[in-house]
Each structure stands twice: as C-alpha cells, then as structure tokens.
C-alpha cells in the first residue's frame, strides 16, 4: 500500500503514492549510506514529496519520472501537441525534491519495425533532452545528472558519484539503441 515501510536490518524501504489513476507506486530505499528514490513513472504530489522529505532529510539519488507519454492520446485520437504542462510538472518535481543526483528512469521500451515511427509521437522527450532540461531547471544538481543504460553502475561514496558505463559483471547493454 502507499506509504508502507519495510525494514531489512538498517535498510528501510518506503512505498510512495502516485496521483495516476492506475495501481502503481514508487520506492524510497534508505540506510546510513544514502537515500535512493525510484519514482518509476509515478505522478508525485507535493504532499508525497513533503512526506518523504519529513522521513529523509535529503534524497541522494532520484531515478525520476521524465517521459510525458502520449500513447493513450494517440490511441484515442486526442491532442498530440507537446505536453508542456505535464513536462514542466516533472521538472518542477525534481526541483522540489532537490536530489543530490538524478537520472531518467522507467519508460525503457520503444516501438519496433513497422511501428518505429510512433516513438517520436508518443515519447516526445529523449533521455538526453530531459538531462539537459534538469540541468537548466535544477542547477543544484550540477554535474550529477546521469543517463544510465543496462549494465551501468552508479556508485555513491563519501558524497561523490561515479558513473561506470558497462561496469556490471552480470548485466550488459546489447545495443545503445533505446
């Protein structure tokens, strides 16, 4: 359920609510080494942000919701213009959380073969563009904005982040194509 907490030794896992009308939630994982919030593709409210920040003084790493998906708009023949309001809300959410580092998370699929052209319609933002926009909208994260692929490792030690591209021994990225 939303805002449930489980403890494993010194590690706490907290579920976070989504304002989306589908059953989904994010996860905050915290221990003495740091705090990680995986938003998945949830829509986060100000009250959820306040609740998390009341439990954890700082979020070290945010795996942020970043893609204003237009799949349903396309399927139901609705407006396909760029969703400025939704995208602005996503950037504002990052700014309100004020994480030490951020990366775009979730939305790791694409249309293939004959449907490939749909990608630019229903997924209007690239990971690269989101990262550029986060740096503009949230200058406090400075150089701590990362694009992560399968097999990458992001380490957080003594307040510093280290991005090791392809550093995993058991996961690898078979193609740099999304």
List pLDDT tens digits, range 89-127. 999 999 999 999 999 998 777 888 898 888 888 899 999
Which pLDDT band, with edges at 50, 70 and 90, does 178 fall under?
low
For the chain, percent of residues with pLDDT exceeding 90:
66
DSSP-derived pairing of the beta strands 61-64 and 101-104: parallel
pLDDT of residue 177: 60
pLDDT of residue 72: 82
The residue whose two tokens read 């998945």 is 40
Which pLDDT band, with edges at 50, 70 and 90, does 164 fall under?
very high
DSSP-derived pairing of the beta strands 26-31 and 34-38: antiparallel
- Determine the 3-state secondary structure of 16 from DSSP: strand
Rounded average pLDDT over 140-162 = 90
Q: What is the pLDDT of residues 2-40, one digit of tens each?
A: 999 999 999 999 999 999 878 889 999 999 999 999 999
Q: If you ran DSSP here, which 8-state letter would residue 105 be given?
A: -
pLDDT of residue 99: 96
Q: What is the pLDDT of residues 29-79, one digit of tens each?
A: 999 999 999 999 888 999 999 999 999 999 999 999 999 888 888 888 998
Burial of 67 (0-12, 13-18, 19+ CB in 10 A): buried
Q: If you ran DSSP here, which 8-state letter would residue 62 be given?
A: E
pLDDT of residue 81: 92
CB burial string 95-117: b at 16+ within 10 A, e below: eebebbbbbbbbbeeeeeeeeee
Residue 156: CB atoms within 10 Å:
17
Residue 172: CB atoms within 10 Å:
11
Burial of 159 (0-12, 13-18, 19+ CB in 10 A): exposed
């Amino acid at each position: 359920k939303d805002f449930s907490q489980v403890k494993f030794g010194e590690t706490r896992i907290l579920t976070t609510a989504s304002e989306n009308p589908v059953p989904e939630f994010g996860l905050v994982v915290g221990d003495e080494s740091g705090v990680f919030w995986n938003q998945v593709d949830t829509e986060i409210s100000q009250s959820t942000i306040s609740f998390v920040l009341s439990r954890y003084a700082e979020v070290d790493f945010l795996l942020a919701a970043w893609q204003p998906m237009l799949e349903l708009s396309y399927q139901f023949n609705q407006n396909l213009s760029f969703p400025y309001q939704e995208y602005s809300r996503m950037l504002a959410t990052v700014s309100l959380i004020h994480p030490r580092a951020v990366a775009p998370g979730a939305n790791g699929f694409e249309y293939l073969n004959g449907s490939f052209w749909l990608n630019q319609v229903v997924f209007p933002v690239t990971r690269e563009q989101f990262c550029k926009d986060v740096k503009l909208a949230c200058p406090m994260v400075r150089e701590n904005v990362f694009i992560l692929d399968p097999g990458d490792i992001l380490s957080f030690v003594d307040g510093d982040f280290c991005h090791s591209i392809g550093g995993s021994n058991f996961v690898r990225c078979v193609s740099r194509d999304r």
